[in-house]
Amino acid sequence: MQAIEISAPNLSTFHYIGSPVEISIRYPSQLKDVYLASFVPSRILSYGRANLPFIARHVERLTLISCGENVNTPMLPDKLLHLKSLGIRLYRSRDSPIYDIFSVVSFLDASPALESFILHVERDYIINDCVTGDDLYASGESAYQHDRLKRVKIMGFHSAKSLIKLVIHILGSAPSLESLTLDTTGGRKPGDAGKCTASGESHKCCCMSERDVEYADRAVEAAGRYIFGRVPSAVQFEVLEPCRRCYAGNR
C-alpha cells in the first residue's frame, strides 16, 4: 500500500499502524483523534511533524509510536493549533538509534493549545549519557511559551542529558504547569506507586533487572541535582523510584 485517500465528511478518528504512506483526507475539519504507530524503523515522528499540520489540522488528541527513530524531529513553522493531548512512545530497534530526544520539543513548540504531554521512552533507547557539568543544563529563555501546558509525565526517565534538557526546557516555558511526574521505573499501572509484581517466592520484581535498578538510581540522583531546584512551588512534582522489593530481589 502506497497511499490512503479518505472522503468521509464526518471522520473523527483515524488510527494507522504501519510504515508511513501518503495520506489524503478530503474533509479534515471533524478529525480530532489521530493515532500513528510503526513497529519497524520508519521515522514516524518526523513524518507526523511534517505532515499532520496538513492532514489533520484540527487534531486535538495525538498519539505517536515509533520504533528505532533515527532522525531528529525537525523544527518546522507549521502548527497544530488545536492539539490538547500529546502522547509519544519510543521503542528501540536492533540497531542503536542516533536520536536526540530533546528534538520532540518541536511538537511542543507547534502546539500552543497543548495541555497534556506524556512521553514513554523504552529502556536502552537512548545512550545513558553521563551527567557532568552543571553548565550543560543552564537555564535559558525559550523562544516559545507553552502557556496552556498543565500536565507532563515522562516514563522511562533516566540520566540522559537530552531528557534532562527536555524537562528543563518545559519548566522554563510552561508557566501554567500543574504537575510533573518523572517515572524511573519504566511505567507502572496507575495506583501501583511503591508496588511491584513479585515472581513466585523469590520476591523479585518482574519488571526491573539489576541494571534497570542501577539506571533508576542514577535517574533519581540526576532529578535531584538538575531538576528539583527548578520546579516552581506551585507544581506538583513526583519522581517514581524502584520499590523496596526491587532492591531486595535484584541486589
Per-residue pLDDT of 26-58, as tens digits, reads 999 999 999 999 988 888 999 999 999 999 999
pLDDT, greater one: 129 or 66: 66
Instruction: Give the integer Cα–Cα distance in Å for 86 and 62.
Output: 5
Q: Three-state secondary structure along 76-138?
A: CCCCCCCCCEEEEEEECCCCCCCCCHHHHHHHHHCCCCCCEEEEEECCCCCCCCCCCCHHHHC
What's the whole-number mean pLDDT along residues 93-106?
80
Q: Which of 152, 94, 155 is nearest to 122 (CA)?
A: 155
Residues 6+ apart with CB under 8 A from 64: 36, 37, 44, 45, 48, 87, 88, 89
User: pLDDT over 90 for what percent of the chain?
Assistant: 59
CA distance 202 to 143: 52
Q: In angstroms, rounded to a whole number, what is the distance separating the alpha carbons of residues 161 and 222? A: 10
DSSP-assigned letter for residue 72? P
* pLDDT range class, residue 110, cuts 50, 70, 90: very high
Q: Kindly tell me if the per-residue pLDDT of 174 is higher than 80.
A: yes
226: amino acid identity, one letter:
Y
User: What domains can you pick out in the chain, each with its CATH number?
Assistant: 3-250 (3.80.10)
Strand blocks (E) in the chain: 3-6, 13-17, 22-25, 33-37, 61-67, 85-91, 116-121, 151-155, 179-183, 198-199, 204-205, 236-240
Cell of 148: 496552556
CB 245 within 8 A of CB 197: no
- Check residue 215 and give its pLDDT: 85
Q: What is the per-residue pLDDT for 185?
A: 85
Measured on CA atoms in the order 47, 155, 115, 192, is the torsion positive or negative?
positive
